[in-house]
Amino acid sequence: MKRIGVGVILLLSGSLMASWIPFGEREEREMRVSLVRSNPREVVLDVEVPGISYEYVNTKGGRFVRLSGGTGVTGNIGKPELPIIAKLIEIPQDAVVKIELQDVEAEEHSLPELGVLHPIYPVQPPIPKIPGATENAKFEIDELAYQSDRFFPDEVYTYGDIAEIRGARVLPLDIAPVQYNPARNTIRVTKRMRVRLILSGSDMSYTRWKKERYFSPYFDDMLRKEIVNFESTKYHPQIPVGYLIIVHDDFYNNILPLAEWKKMKGFNVTVTKTSEIPGGASAGNIGNYIQDAYDNWDIPPTFCLLVGDVGDIPARRTGFETGYVTDLYYFTVDGTDYFPDIYYGRFSGSNTSHIDAMVDKLVEYERNLWTQGTDWLGKMYFMASNDGGHHDEAEYICDVCMALARANGVICDSLYYYYGTGTPISTAVNDGRTIALYTGHGNETGWGGPPFSRSQVRSLTNEDKYPFVIGHACLTGNFNYDECFAETWTRVVDKGAVAYFGSAPGSYWVWDDTLQIGWFRPMFVEPTTNFLSGFTQLGLYNVYEWGGNGWTTVQYYYEAYHIFGDPSMDLYTLEPVPLTVSHPGIYPLGSSSFTVDVAEDSALVALYMNGTLYGVAYSSGGEAVVNLDPPPTEEGFMHITVTKHNYATYEDSVPARVPASVTIEPDTISVNIPTWIYITVLDDSLNPMSDIEVKILGYGITPPLIDTTNTAGLCSLKVDAPYGEVLGVYGRMVSEEWTLFEEPLWVVDASDFTSTSLSVSVPLLGLVDTLAPCYEGVIDASVSPSGFNLFVSGCGIDTSSYYGGGDAEMVVIPVTSGEVAVCIAKEGYNIEEHTYPVKEFYGTLSGTVTDSVNGSLIGGALVRIYDIPVKTLVFEGVTGDSGVYVVPDSLPVGYYDVEVTSFGYEEYCDTFMLLVGENVKDVELVPGEMVLLSGVVNLRDTGDNSGVTVEARYGEYTFSTTDDGRGNYALNLPPGALYTVRAYRKGYTEDVKEDVSVPQSDVDFTLYPITTLYFTDFEDDDGDATGTSDWQWGVPTTGPSGAHSGEKLWATKLGSDYSNYSNSRLTTPEIAIPDAAYVELRFYHWYDTELGMHPYDGGNVKVSTGGSFDVVI
């Protein structure tokens, strides 16, 4: 027989602030690395450790202390966690590196003499952002390491494999100025040292060549931040910057408006269809194409946009660390590391409407084509998790970000879901936010808390107010999924996000925090960038500094996170203000330069005409002189674009030609009277312009009349107009598409109709005076006098017909929404023209899912609705307990596919037509195949086996049965799943089997009787327990409303909060334990501790069998 004692201990710090141990300086400062010199022979760094911060943490393995003060921490799981300084050091091409330490000043201290009372915290695996991860995490400690008489880490410095980032060769260097000896419980601190990197074999000619070839202003600022000794090329910036777009052939025409805009903005754009990739559009061939562009093109791409879902343009590979799809390795084209050398993003759309939506939102954003004002661009929104173990951590990081933003004039609001307070997500996004940031749980279809789903994204109404959405959560960016959450945000039309930044695999709490503060801080504290991939890469570099060479999680994060959007997009972080711009009103053809006056420095000025970018320059000293080499020789309109971060985009066009003067004689003619019209075209100096094609158009002029001016600038056309209307006179230079002039020619003296009646309808939808895309519309006309033509044009329609009587009926089918023009015309009469809207019309959809055999309601069924003929997911939801599903958004009328699945049932598929108004689509599911799980339940104390329940659980699905009274059970289950099966009976222990597949016939269980060895509810007495410090027995007046049973309990304290720095212990009397296979301790515990960001305050349960107490909870 054993005897045990149980102790409940409450350990409290009284302060949420980390403490500071100075080593020569009282002021708290981080460890520093400063550059002494850098040249082809050596790089010299000084390292200084003014002190270290520490904080106590309570863990499942006991109480430890964590040290901090560097950029990150060591990464050997289970071994002591120590601060490191992780930096990238630039070294010349071909240089061989040898490292030596000089002027080392180190000292050793025991932790107790520094006031540190517990051992150094062991490195723990990252905690994933999934519910219960913290609670279920195993506490890792290398017991042998913690008993050893040696210092961890072994060396003061380590370095990783040499990497290349956009032509810069770098050495990843980790410095560990604090080492820990567990056996002695001492730390060795290198307070100061000089680190000398001795270089031999440096090829400076090749070094300069690479840096000049791969220079990009977009990388330059980032590398200054990332590399300690980065030195930019002394040569002029290489502009325009290269932008490569690789697009699936199906989306080529859809992406062209974006490609044109990027040219207009000042990028050297190359659009490559997947059919143009040598060898075909495999991941390997696409990678080779990008590598060739980087290695051999005159302007290596700085940016690359992949246009198409993963089925159209495959991911480069699955990640080495993540095991999930990643595009990263398309763009690690310099060296064999994981640092990208080309900024990248993906328009992950699976049909043309997706790509159109992405293009429209981005171009509208960058060109400032907003209809809802701009005040929303000065607002940011933050959402934090309700995870019980990490919500305070998420809130803290968001608080830091909001403080930075507010200090710089940004309006911020939030939703901290743990408390249920703040601005609802839809309210904030619909109102308009430039950034909407979420940190918490997630999956492929949405955020977990605060919850937000794809259908809710589709229900947003934030037209012309598109945020950059960041999801620091698991799986929301898994673009290998049918339509992941990130894709929904960017695919939706006239709503959603302009871009999304999220992770394909799962993500981790501390690492996401590090990423978040890393990309957010440069907006304000260190304004080193202003474009999406600049922000995100600086965030990932912060992850590198946290993990250095010791964590594979660093590479994991580089593989995991993707931009669903344009990597070059300039992100507004404040409401934009106008640029002050002026320029000449004409571009003289052949001029080799053009000056644009810009009051603001560092604005990018671009000249673009007829599909060609002619020149780019940055403003300085009040002007930008744009050189055009070669200059255009053909007339057109020169488009001027001026952009600068947080300024409104300026656009204007000036004629690149000699302006024309037009005279039309006469400018009015009579109906049905042939009349000669004389058009004279002169240039700015009133010289005749020859070879000007002049065209006259109208309902009654078919085909159009065309003539060309002679050397006198004159042409003549004989016009016989049958209808009273305004004809158009158009002029253009021969062989050019742009219009030189447009003038009216009036046709008068026509009669008015006696009466007309005109109407349109869509009988199938019950629509009147409105048409709908893709549906037959009927145009009815009644005219007096009779005999007339009916012309219809617009929205993909261009048709006409003559009707001899007084009535007409014409059937038309619009292709797109917009307006259709309908004209009634009769010779000698004034035309009558009307326009009618072509609108999308909507219906609602709901239904009930039931069992086809017994009619029972099926909860948890997954319902998907697809638009057809292109199968586009428009709704995905799960039925409630009542079996009902409701599509929250109205859907455009038309044909849809419905698919319904539920565990244990056959899949249901059907096509139906959604009508205007309310639609009900009920579904009956046919039960699927069931297989047998069986076995025996043994009770160790009796032959009476009745009353045992066996329960099998898979996800949210539970199946149960009772035994036959003799211990045998049989349970029919759907195949294809791994079940958690448990057997239980009141008064007995339960037995659980994990990952049980079916069918099986020998899954047996053993249950043991439960005997109460010790019980007290502290009602009649204190249970013979002894309490120290704050523990008190009696009736509480604060905290819980009462005891779990009765009125009395043990508490710290009965009438007030526990004391600061309290170390309180409650110990039970000894409890006699007989030899048994199973012993269980149960107790009820109410607590409310002061946590903050870190769990300084907490408690644990320890058990003693006669020696020391060991922690069990």
Residue 870 has a pLDDT of: 64
Mean pLDDT of 1000-1019: 86
Position 131 pLDDT exceeds 80: yes
Domain 931-1007, second-level architecture: Sandwich (2.60)
Phi-psi region of 409 (alpha: psi -120 to 50; beta: other; left: phi over 0): left
Confidence (pLDDT) at 3: 35
Which amino acid belongs to residue 733? M
Q: At what angle do helices 391-407 and 509-520 cross, to 10 degrees?
A: 0
Neighbouring-strand partners of residue 468: 435, 499
Q: What is the pLDDT of residue 739?
A: 61
What burial class does residue 572 get, using C-beta atoms within 10 Å of its C-beta: 0-12 exposed, 13-18 middle, 19+ buried? buried
Q: Number of helices and strands (H, E) in the chain? A: 14, 75
C-alpha to C-alpha distance for 490 and 487, rounded to whole angstroms = 5
* pLDDT above 70 for 684: yes
Fill in the DSSP letter of residue 599. S
Structure tokens at 126: 């990252």
pLDDT score of 15: 29
Which helix H or strand E contains 812, and what residues bound it?
A: strand 807-812
CATH no. of 842-925: 2.60.40.10
- Residue 859, CB-side half-sphere exposure with 13 Å CA sphere: 6
DSSP strands (E only) in 903-1052 = 908-914, 917-920, 923-925, 931-939, 949-954, 957-962, 968-973, 979-984, 991-996, 1005-1007, 1026-1027, 1032-1034, 1049-1051
pLDDT at 307: 98
Rounded distance between C-alpha atoms, residue 737 and residue 695, angstroms: 13
pLDDT score, position 13: 26
Question: Alpha-carbon distance 1022 to 1016, whole Å?
Answer: 8
User: In this predicted structure, what is the pLDDT of residue 446?
Assistant: 97
Tally the residues of the chain. Answer: 1113
Q: Which helix (H) or strand (E) holds 511?
A: helix 509-520
**Residue 738 clears pLDDT 60, i.e. is over it:** no
On the question of pLDDT at 897 being above 80, the answer is yes
CATH, domain range 581-656: 2.60.40.10
Confidence band for 756, pLDDT divided at 50, 70 and 90? very high
pLDDT for the residue 1024: 85
Same fold, 661-748 and 755-837: yes
Is the per-residue pLDDT at 142 higher than 80?
yes
Neighbours of 1103 (CB within 10 A): 17
Helix (H, G, I), strand (E, B) or coil at 858: coil
In a 10 Å sphere around its CB, with 0-12 CB exposed, 13-18 middle and 19+ buried, how is residue 465 labelled? buried
- In this prediction, residue 18 carries a pLDDT of 56
Lowest average pLDDT, out of 31-45, 568-582, 885-899, goes to 885-899
Q: Which CATH number fits domain 661-748: 3.40.1160.10, 2.60.40.1930, 3.40.50.300, 1.10.3720.10?
A: 2.60.40.1930
DSSP 1087: -
pLDDT at 123 over 90: yes
pLDDT tens for 421-431 read: 899 999 999 99
Q: Is the pLDDT assigned to residue 127 strictly greater than 80?
A: yes
- 576-597 pLDDT tens trace: 999 999 988 778 777 788 999 9
pLDDT per residue over 635-654, tens digit each? 899 999 999 999 999 999 99
For residue 1014, give both structure tokens. 């010790």
Per-residue pLDDT of 472-518, as tens digits, reads 999 999 999 999 999 999 999 999 999 999 999 999 999 999 999 99
CB 864 within 8 A of CB 898: yes
The long-range contacts involving 999-1003, CB below 8 angstroms and separated by at least 24 positions, are 999/931, 999/932, 999/933, 999/975, 1000/933, 1000/934, 1000/935, 1001/932, 1001/933, 1001/934, 1001/935, 1002/934, 1002/935, 1003/933, 1003/934, 1003/935
Residue (of 349, 364, 355, 612) closest to 484 by Cα position:
349
Angstrom distance (rounded) from CA 69 to CA 48? 11
Taking the domains of the chain in order of start, what are their residue ranges?
A: 31-226, 373-560, 581-656, 661-748, 755-837, 842-925, 931-1007
User: What are the beta bridge partners of residue 867?
Assistant: 872, 896
The sign of the CA dihedral 366, 371, 377, 383 is negative
Assigned CATH for 31-226: 2.60.40.3800
Q: What share of the chain is helix, strand, coil (3-state, %, to 5)?
A: 15, 40, 45
Instruction: Mention every residue, 6+ apart, whose C-beta is less than 8 A from residue 429.
Output: 381, 436, 460, 462, 465, 467
Q: What is the mean pLDDT of residues 1017-1040?
A: 84
| Single-letter amino acid, residue 962 | T
| C-alpha distance across the termini of the chain, in Å | 24
Residue type, 596: V
The pLDDT tens digits for 179-238 are 999 999 999 999 999 999 999 999 988 998 998 899 999 998 889 889 998 876 655 556
Q: Is 342 left (phi over 0), alpha (psi -120 to 50) or beta?
A: beta
Query: CB count, 10 Å around CB of 250?
Result: 17
Distance, C-alpha 629 to centroid of its chain: 40
What pLDDT is stored for residue 934 in this prediction? 94
pLDDT at 1097: 65
- C-alpha to C-alpha distance for 438 and 469, rounded to whole angstroms: 8
The CATH number given to 755-837 is: 2.60.40
Mean pLDDT, to the nearest integer, of 447-469?
A: 96
The CA-atom distances, in angstroms, between 262 and each of 242, 265, 534, 643 are: 10, 5, 18, 12
pLDDT higher than 80, residue 546: yes
Mean pLDDT of the chain: 89
CB 497 within 8 A of CB 528: no
- Give the sign of the dihedral formed by CA 529, CA 534, CA 540, CA 545: negative
Nearest Cα to Cα of residue 408 among 434, 430, 388: 434
Whole-angstrom distance, CA of residue 699 vs CA of residue 1102: 94
Phi, psi of 370 (to 5 degrees): -95, 145
- Asked whether the predicted pLDDT for residue 1062 surpasses 80, the reply is no
Q: Give the pLDDT band of residue 527 (cuts 50, 70, 90).
A: low
Share of the chain above pLDDT 70, in %: 93
Domain 373-560 maps to which CATH number in 3.40.50.2300, 3.40.462.10, 3.30.1360.170, 3.40.50.1460? 3.40.50.1460
Q: Give 775-780 contacts, CB < 8 A, sequence gap 24+.
A: 775/813, 775/814, 775/893, 776/811, 776/812, 776/813, 777/811, 777/812, 777/813, 777/814, 778/809, 778/810, 778/811, 779/808, 779/809, 779/810, 779/811, 779/812, 779/822, 780/807, 780/808, 780/809
Is 375 a residue whose pLDDT tops 90?
A: yes
What would the mean pLDDT of 941-969 be, rounded to a whole number? 83
Cβ(1006)–Cβ(935) under 8 Å?
no
Helix (H) or strand (E) holding 544, with range, is helix 532-547
Q: Is 4 a residue whose pLDDT tops 50?
A: no
> Residue 260: phi, psi to the nearest 5?
-65, -45
Q: Report the DSSP beta bridge partners of residue 295.
A: none
Band of residue 658 on the pLDDT scale cut at 50, 70, 90: low
Question: 112: helix, coil or strand?
Answer: helix
Alpha carbons 306 and 297: distance in angstroms, whole number: 18
